Structure 1
């Protein structure tokens, strides 16, 4: 049944073809939001939309699909341009797409460590490029799906690719810390949320078992609701607001990360 607070909202979800992203899309669509589904390929996104219509009974008119491989920043840019053109008023961006860092050090064609690019840099670039569409109306926001592992991380400023000393867990944690720091960027109204340990493809990083993806998604959906007031840069452990790692709210760290990210994604901010 449509929820009046969400029925007029347009929400873009990255990584919507599986796990928490898929469940978030379903819950938002079920509550009446227009949902923009991002998948690694256009075919993935369309298959997700077809499933939501056929199995979940979602109104097809509430779904739009997009494909972009986050290991290729050119595809992220094209994706952003298409969204801004087709949806010039975007209420919520859910930065959810994520991957576990591989066992072996892997660099993308853009020259970045793959988990740092997919989990953070692609979302940084996407958010910056969507800024013209992201509404400044009350309730407009970015929701970054982060992780408690950000607390174990440090950003290797001189070697963000971790070429000198690579650990898949450290690389993944660094990407989650960067995403959490980005929520404190004053250019956007944003929060981060750890949805808890969920039974998704990332589960082996955390534990042997977790709650359902639907349960984790509910914490993301709650923060998409304009009726839920947020403070820029806030961090939620499921539904409870808690303090993130100290580095995540330091103005100096936010500025330093923006400078590094602009360099790595090729943004000219001069």
Structure 2
């Protein structure tokens, strides 16, 4: 993996207070990047930024905490407005925040199934709203942290909130397929990556044991590096580019998902 200097780069990492998100923020900051550290609450975000600053070699000016609860789309909009205003030149957006689906079917106040909103719709909205700030300079990109479980999924077009038949694993997999499909949206330069099965809060969905969060984050950071050339819509399993599920590369599916997402977030993005 390249250890090129990233001091000219500004990166927003969602879900950066723990797990792969925190390790991604740490590794980016250690290589000189300015990192916007997103957390769900102000307390979580402050604790994460304090921990990063305490790490060797990371300057306080390199990390900036930003907060939004992705179960509330209004907070996502406020986050986007703040980032565009304070960081009009954003090199990379890492769409990493994610939750495991709850045992029981749960809707957000916005009326969306909670894992679909947190893992996909909030990132879709955020990405669209950050488009003015996301640079078109060489190396500018979006990195969606997805999952190999997207291969097991289908998008329930007529019942995306899975009201009629809810399964937590199916709901989670659907959110990951949607995020993977979104990487092929022509409006942004984006890739998606499965960072491997890691020791995070989502481990129970995959296995008993996993790699360290730092190992998983290294695969994300590699794709943030402008020295790593990417093709829009590409999918990586750790450090290897592989073909995603067939649906993730179909133009019809990409357009259909965009239309559905616009409806669900109530925006004409």
TM-score w.r.t. structure 1 length?
A: 0.98
Q: Does residue 107 of the first structure (1) align with residue 107 of the second (2)?
A: yes
Structure 1: state its 5+ residue gaps. none
Q: Does residue 156 of the first structure (1) align with residue 156 of the second (2)?
A: yes
Match of 1:199 in 2: 199
Match of 1:47 in 2: 47
1:57 Cα deviation after fit: 4.2
In the aligned structure 2, how far is the partner of 1:57 from the partner of 1:47?
A: 18
In the aligned structure 1, how far is the partner of 2:190 from the partner of 2:262?
A: 19
Deviations 1:182-207 (A, max 9, x none): 00000000000000000000000000
1:56 Cα deviation after fit: 3.9
What are the residue-to-residue correspondences of 1:87-102 with 2, within 5 Å?
87-102=87-102
Structure 2: state its 5+ residue gaps. none
In the aligned structure 2, how far is the partner of 1:16 from the partner of 1:188?
A: 22
Q: How large is the Cα RMSD of the aligned pairs?
A: 1.1
Deviations 1:13-71 (A, max 9, x none): 00000000000000000000000000001221111111111244411100011110000
1:15–1:96 contact (8 Å) kept in structure 2: yes
1:43–1:67 contact (8 Å) kept in structure 2: no
In the aligned structure 2, how far is the partner of 1:59 from the partner of 1:85?
A: 22
What are the residue-to-residue correspondences of 1:99-248 with 2, within 5 Å?
99-248=99-248
Bigger mean CA offset, 4-13 vs 246-255:
4-13
In the aligned structure 2, how far is the partner of 1:121 from the partner of 1:60?
A: 31
In the aligned structure 1, how far is the partner of 2:238 from the partner of 2:51?
A: 27
Structure 1 outlier segments of 4+, above 4 Å: none
Match of 1:257 in 2: 257
In the aligned structure 1, how far is the partner of 2:8 from the partner of 2:177?
A: 32
Bigger mean CA offset, 36-45 vs 124-133:
36-45
1:5–1:227 contact (8 Å) kept in structure 2: no
What are the residue-to-residue correspondences of 1:22-33 with 2, within 5 Å?
22-33=22-33
Deviations 1:103-150 (A, max 9, x none): 000000000000000000000000000000000011000000000000
Match of 2:9 in 1: 9
In the aligned structure 1, how far is the partner of 2:236 from the partner of 2:203?
A: 19
In the aligned structure 1, how far is the partner of 2:59 from the partner of 2:4?
A: 16
In the aligned structure 2, how far is the partner of 1:4 from the partner of 1:210?
A: 28
